[in-house]
Amino acid sequence: MPGEASMSAAIIGAAEANDIGYPQTPKSSLTLHIEAINNVCEMTGIPIKAIDGIFSAGWSPQIAEYLGLHPKYIDTTAVGGCSFEMHVHHALAAIHAGVIDVALVTHGEMGFSQRFTGGKGTGRPFGGGDPWDPGTQHTSAYGLGGAPTSYSHALNRHMARYGTTQEDFAEIAVVTREWATLNPRAVMYRKAGEGDLPPLEKGEWGGGKRGHTFGGPITVDTVMNSRPISWPIKLLDVCLVTDHGGAVLITGPELAKTSKTPPVWIAGAGESISHWNMLEMGEFTKTSASRSAAAAYKMAGMGPEDMEMAMIYDSFTVTAGITAEMLGLAPEGEGFRLWKDRHAAPGGRLPINTNGGGLSFNHSGMYGMQLLVEAYRQLSGTAEDGGFSGDPGKQTSARSCVVNGTGGSLSTTGTLVLVSDD
């Protein structure tokens, strides 16, 4: 039996900023937020001033002030890329409790452009850790920094425990790239300089319809031959670093009827954490997604067998592979088979990461919003006419989707079960 909060609120629209990927001109993270908010309000017909709850990864007071809003609910949960799935969970609870009517979940991040602005415009420059913080004190001596330097330990452990190989995980990158070649918004949509497409000029980064130097289809060999970053992770096991802004609106059933775009119902939601610093991870081949998914499935009164597609955070190929196992979509140690056996591929029985993923579509640093936007696009049918961006990308006929964000160092997870109206 579904939980009490199940289906009591819906995502009624989802939109992105005007320029995502590799914009020619940098826009601040705040601007990316605001463009997406404006787009989602235009798309749904819900005015900005109707928003009475703001949910973002650290930005809520600034967003409220910038828009001149005085919301009744302010949530700045920032626990990595899964924050946005948690925001939806929190918004569902707040709407179910009758505290607010219109929740905004918003994201803006100049992951790519900050390299040209010296970090200006990011709003939240990432400093080093507090030297006394135990996580910092007992790990900083060993130099691990960027996310790949940590996640590689999980991939190696998975290979040792289950006998999986680097090639197995490369299959995830290959199939995910295949999806990207169907999405004109994806950075890796196609290869610049191929066919009628002129090569990129010096200083031009391309992406999307313009093409990318390394865009278009890839093979397992392409992944295996890409340069080592943190063995056994290679460059093409790693997500992109892009700009992105995204926003979704969530309301109860009555207001959902007033939206110009269809509702996608929140059937289930759950969140959990296993650690913050990877030092405390416990078993390196498991994440808290098993717990957050159990909560979400329970609320929904549904199980993994009921899911017709999945949006799974793929910061790295290993993140997607392990998470598929935690979500009950594949047996432990065999998550990669969903991709290798092409169940997750275009035309497969369980399409996964239909936008091209963090690996080949867009990953701004935190990717949870991109998961939400794509799940909404696929389930609502708004992708058929291209939605607000005008780029069609309806890839599936799915009516249910499990969405799972992963944050930190495989630390935090938020899981949603979303269903369309019929």
What is the contact surface with other proteins in residues (CB under 8 A)? 131-132, 134-146, 148-149, 152-157, 160, 227-233, 278-280, 284
> How many other CB atoms sit within 10 Å of the CB of residue 144?
16
Among 420, 418, 415, 419, which Cα is nearest to 295's?
A: 415
| DSSP single-letter state for residue 211 | -
Q: Smaller CB distance to other proteins: residue 152 or 272?
A: 152
β-sheet bridge partners, residue 91: none
Sheet containing 412-419, strands listed edge to edge, beginning at the edge strand earlier in sequence: 73-75, 53-56, 102-110, 243-251, 10-16, 264-273, 412-419, 400-407, 309-312
If phi > 0 it is left, if psi is from -120 to 50 it is alpha, else beta; for residue 193 that is left
If phi > 0 it is left, if psi is from -120 to 50 it is alpha, else beta; for residue 36 that is alpha
Smallest gap, in angstroms, from Cβ of residue 113 to other proteins? 18
Total count of residues recorded for the chain: 422
> How many other CB atoms sit within 10 Å of the CB of residue 173?
29
Q: Smaller CB distance to other proteins: residue 38 or 140?
A: 140
- In sign, the C-alpha dihedral spanning 199, 383, 83, 299 is negative
Beta strands 102-110; 243-251: pairing state: antiparallel
Taking a C-beta distance cutoff of 8 angstroms, is the pair 55, 104 a contact? yes
Taking a C-beta distance cutoff of 8 angstroms, is the pair 209, 328 a contact? no
Smallest gap, in angstroms, from Cβ of residue 235 to other proteins? 9
Smallest gap, in angstroms, from Cβ of residue 202 to other proteins? 22
Smallest gap, in angstroms, from Cβ of residue 312 to other proteins? 22
Fill in the amino acid letter for 397.
Answer: S
Smallest gap, in angstroms, from Cβ of residue 218 to other proteins? 20
Phi, psi of 252 (to 5 degrees): -80, 180
Q: Smaller CB distance to other proteins: residue 151 or 297?
A: 151
If phi > 0 it is left, if psi is from -120 to 50 it is alpha, else beta; for residue 298 that is alpha
DSSP line for 29-67: HHHHHHHHHHHHHHHH---GGG--EEEESS-HHHHHHHH
Q: Smaller CB distance to other proteins: residue 237 or 243?
A: 237
Q: Smaller CB distance to other proteins: residue 226 or 292?
A: 226
Q: How far is CA 106 from the centre of its chain?
A: 13
Smallest gap, in angstroms, from Cβ of residue 327 to other proteins? 22
Of the CA atoms within 13 Å of residue 128, those in its CB half-sphere come to: 11
Smallest gap, in angstroms, from Cβ of residue 294 to other proteins? 23
Smallest gap, in angstroms, from Cβ of residue 139 to other proteins? 5
Q: Cα(419)–Cα(267) distance, rounded to whole angstroms?
A: 7
Q: Smaller CB distance to other proteins: residue 45 or 134?
A: 134
| Cis peptide preceding 217, ω within 30 of 0 | no
Q: Smaller CB distance to other proteins: residue 119 or 134?
A: 134
Smallest gap, in angstroms, from Cβ of residue 277 to other proteins? 8
Q: Smaller CB distance to other proteins: residue 335 or 393?
A: 335
Q: Smaller CB distance to other proteins: residue 59 or 284?
A: 284
Q: Smaller CB distance to other proteins: residue 119 or 228?
A: 228
Phi, psi of 312 (to 5 degrees): -120, 125
Smallest gap, in angstroms, from Cβ of residue 233 to other proteins? 7
